[in-house]
Amino acid sequence: MQASLTVTTNFSAAHRLARPDLDYDTNRTVYGKCARPNGHGHDYLLEVTVVGKVDDQTGMAVELGALHELLRVAVIEPFDHHFLNKDIEYFATTVPTAENIAIYIRNILQAQLPSLGVTLQRIKLHESPNNACEVFATAAIKPERAESARESLAIA
């Protein structure tokens, strides 16, 4: 029998939402106060859902200690108390929106979780009590700049 298991963890990180090819005023129009030059921080809550076969002997789909250790090494240590734009090379050229952060984490975990005998089902990243981003396991992809209503402001 297959079972899904969701674990939660958290980390604190800072970021700045701004495209390097845009000037400050345009970034401010697109990203609002999140484009301020010195960035801002969040206390993120990360939910990770995995799916796997329930072992007949242990009654578990995955050993929780191993899963939490993988999350600590692959996500928490690299992200916690870091400025994402500067400390994670990927976000030097990709805007670290909640969506792009969730996709980045998904791609990392999707590659590593099979070593524990489970596969990734979903990631839900809570940026604040008011908003969260949910992404599902798929083929690993590079996050692309989303087309949004704000980008229809004729940004070159």
Of 77, 127, 147, 151, the active-site residue reads 127
Structurally, how many domains does the chain consist of?
Answer: 1
Instruction: Give the CATH number for residue 52.
Output: 3.30.479.10
> Tell me, what's the pLDDT at 156?
42
Whether residue 127 lies in the annotated active site:
yes
CA distance 25 to 42: 23
pTM: 0.87
Whether residue 42 lies in the annotated active site:
no
Write down the mean pLDDT value for the chain. Answer: 90
Domain span including residue 53: 2-153
Tens digits of residue pLDDT in 39-71:
999 999 999 999 999 999 999 999 999 999 999
Q: What residue type is assigned to position 146 of the chain?
A: A
pLDDT at residue 140 is higher than 80: no
Tens digits of residue pLDDT in 107-122:
999 999 999 999 999 9
CA distance 151 to 93: 18
Average pLDDT rounded to a whole number, residues 88-98: 97
Of 77, 81, 126, 151, the active-site residue reads 81
> Tell me, what's the pLDDT at 142?
47
Whether residue 81 lies in the annotated active site:
yes
pLDDT at residue 141 is higher than 60: no
Q: How confident is the model at residue 138 (pLDDT cuts 50, 70, 90)?
A: confident
